[in-house]
Amino acid sequence: MSETILKFLLVTVVTFMVVSAKPLQNNKQTNNTVVPTCDSKIYCQGDLLDTIQLSGIYSDSKTFVDMSMIYSVNETLKNFSNLMNQTNNEPTQDDLMQFISTNFVSANETVSWTPSDYNPNPSFLNKITDDEVRTFAQNLVAIWPTLGRKVSDDVINDPTKHSIIPIPNGFIIPGGRFRESYYWDSYWIIRGLLISGMSETAKGMLENFVYLINQYGFIPNGARVYYLNRSQPPLFTLMVSMYIEYTNDTNILTSIVPYIEQELSWWLENRTITVKKHGREYRLAHYQSLSNTPRSESYKEDYTTCSYYTDSNDQQICYQSLKSGAETGWDFSSRWFFDDQGGTSTNLTHIRTQRVVPVDLNSFLYKAFQSLSDFYRYLGDERKENQWASLSNDWLQSIEEVLYNQEDGIWYDYDSILEKPRKYFFPSNFAPLWADAYNQRHKNIYGKRAAQYFTNVNITQYLGGIPTSLDQSGEQWDFSNAWPPLQELVVLGLMKSENEEALQIAHLFGSRWISANIKGYNDSQIMYEKYDAVIPGAFGGGGEYTVQAGFGWTNGVALHFIKLFYSSDE
């Protein structure tokens, strides 16, 4: 670990122990007990948050909770109490706008940052064989400094006045409304940085995650206190593995492996359940936030969704399911919906994320356990090497026996209540191929059957990318949106199987994706967070907010595909 982060930890740990918002660490579910987002009376719970967010002042609920306080927490709460007394607890929108303008400011959280290792002409550009693709890749590299941020001194000196968490190193944001560091986005951002020769920036982002694990025992959804109620897909271990693959910097392992183990232990302790199939029991993971109040950053939206229910316990289950859905990274998708028959023919009100045993989550964990075992082997710790190898083998068996469908030749999410597979197309069905979470002696067979499944559900017709589902629910993680990370899951997974039919599909969609990205960029000079699978280059839609530009993981996946399909050394 770098000297910088060690100093930062020493300086800030006492402050955080005293004043920062705290996460929820208890895995026990309680009935009718309100479990808030975090303990902040400004950003996570209380009358101030409730009144402002339900007033409809802002079209995007994230606007308010990303503001910074001008005064202390107690002074701000006192000023709000005075406002409520003066207005008989019925402030108008004008009253609230005046209160916000005198007590909060939309600035001073982060500063723009150009990474010191940024190079507008990294060497890999010279290996790209297509002129148009090379120009596009150079444009992508040029976006990195526009997305670079560091936490400001204002936040470091007094974190209580801000919702952003003061991580020590510079980082790359996704873009648009997402102005902070995010967990699973960073996997593909770091991939793009490493391809761009920016290994120091990538290492700094890994150290930021070490800081978060050290502070909270896990990695939250993003670097905001209102994200402390949930995580995101557990890719930190695989980020470290990828960093070492590109840099050969194995020196990082001694200091970082304890934090990898701490994070994976958190998932094992807080997100695993016993799953039954054909009378046998298996241990697998699911997503489950324990908090059962509206998300701070989507407060009014959640309130509206869950107001369908009149019983307070049903409302709390709805809120918890929404937060669990946000933990998946797929917020939101029919993938998490349950109608009366256990199908997906319903809407967001009937989200029950915790009921799903997801293919991708368990594939990520399998790969992480396997990687940690490899790290311990390198460090010479045979006991822990065997411990994590044994766990990865157990997970592999559970994935095979619970999630793999022999009839269709693909993996499906599992309904833990009805104890049966959810036989719907999602790109996540291919995650075991991406994570090598299957018997490698039969990789060609698994690849062939997955390719046949892909063809049978007629995905090859989509020229703009692989759709997120075949369900037109209106949610953003459904048809016809095509998300960059999911393109990589499928394309790379099929490639790794080395089956000829699978390789053909992988190359087809790898090149289609780059063509769509180039068309979209040439039309708008923008990289979007998601695209339209039907119309190449068009941006996606649906969900709670308008499409965002930037965009961190889009650029990372594009650079990776360019390296795979358009570079002379691949």
Q: List, by residue number, the catalytic residues.
A: 331, 529
What does the alpha-carbon distance between residue 388 and residue 368 come to, in Å, rounded to a whole number? 9
Residue with tokens 């995580």: 231
What is the maximal distance between C-alpha atoms in the chain? 73
Instruction: Evaluate whether 289 touches 302 at the Cβ level (below 8 Å).
Output: no
Q: Where are the alpha helices (DSSP H) in 399-463?
A: 431-434, 443-456
Torsion of CA 444, 450, 452, 457, to 10 degrees: -170
Residue 536: what residue type? Answer: P
What does the alpha-carbon distance between residue 406 and residue 27 come to, in Å, rounded to a whole number? 34
User: Which residues, 6 or more positions from 278, have their beta carbon under 8 angstroms from its beta carbon?
Assistant: none
Instruction: Evaluate whether 26 touches 271 at the Cβ level (below 8 Å).
Output: no
Instruction: Evaluate whether 36 touches 291 at the Cβ level (below 8 Å).
Output: yes
Instruction: Give bridge partners of residue 111 from the DSSP assignment.
Output: 150
Instruction: Evaluate whether 166 touches 156 at the Cβ level (below 8 Å).
Output: yes
Q: Which two tokens stand for residue 307?
A: 């107001």
Q: Which of 230, 157, 141, 147 is nearest to 194 (CA)?
A: 141
What does the alpha-carbon distance between residue 131 and residue 113 come to, in Å, rounded to a whole number? 30
Instruction: Give bridge partners of residue 175 from the DSSP assignment.
Output: 178
Q: Which of 229, 226, 217, 329 is nearest to 269 (CA)?
A: 217
Q: Where are the alpha helices (DSSP H) in 217-355?
A: 236-247, 253-270, 299-306, 312-327
What does the alpha-carbon distance between residue 377 and residue 385 come to, in Å, rounded to a whole number? 5
Torsion of CA 225, 284, 399, 373, to 10 degrees: 70
Residue 488: what residue type? Answer: E
What does the alpha-carbon distance between residue 562 and residue 570 come to, in Å, rounded to a whole number? 10
